[in-house]
Amino acid sequence: MNDRPMVGVGMPAALHLDAFGREINDAFGHLPYLVGTAAVGKTWRDVDVRLILPDDEFDQLFPPVPFDQADGRWGLICAAISELARQRTGLPVDFQIQRQSYANDRYPGVRQALGLHDRNGQ
């Protein structure tokens, strides 16, 4: 986790993104992370937000599907939450839920936890 401020999205979008992070935490019991280009700079195409779940929780929510088929449940949930995030924040959010071992293996970059502070700074 990184304690640097969200440099890419600016204000007040950062406040809206943190509020969205609290909503995700309330629903899933885990904070989401700002990752990718919006986490490190002001030049970005979209705002990547990832909810990284422990492997067992991910597998319970998304049981394995045959290798040659898309996971319709995963796709629909990610698309729906992406759209909700866009409406809540005004940002082009790409939201994905990832299995922890997969995320740690494939994406070792910057992760900034969202939703750590409420509007009162607590």
Q: What pLDDT, in 10s, does the model give residues 27-48? A: 999 999 999 878 888 888 899 9
Average pLDDT over residues 45-66: 91
pLDDT of residue 6: 54
Q: Report the share of the chain in percent with pLDDT over 70.
A: 87
**For 5-35, how does the pLDDT look when each residue is reduced to its tens digit (9 = 90+)?**
556 787 888 889 999 999 999 999 999 999 9
Cα 94 from Cα 49, distance rounded (Å): 6
Fold for the domain defined by 13-113: Beta Polymerase; domain 2 (3.30.460)
Mean pLDDT of the chain: 86
Q: Which of 32, 43, 42, 58 is nearest to 111 (CA)?
A: 32
Cα 34 from Cα 48, distance rounded (Å): 6
Secondary structure percentages of the chain, helix, strand, coil, to 5: 40, 15, 45
Cα 95 from Cα 33, distance rounded (Å): 10
pLDDT of residue 86: 96
pLDDT of residue 72: 83
Cα 54 from Cα 78, distance rounded (Å): 17
Q: Is pLDDT above 70 for 120? A: no
Whole-model pTM: value is: 0.86
pLDDT of residue 1: 43
Residue 36 class from Cβ within 10 Å (0-12 exposed, 13-18 middle, 19+ buried)?
Answer: buried
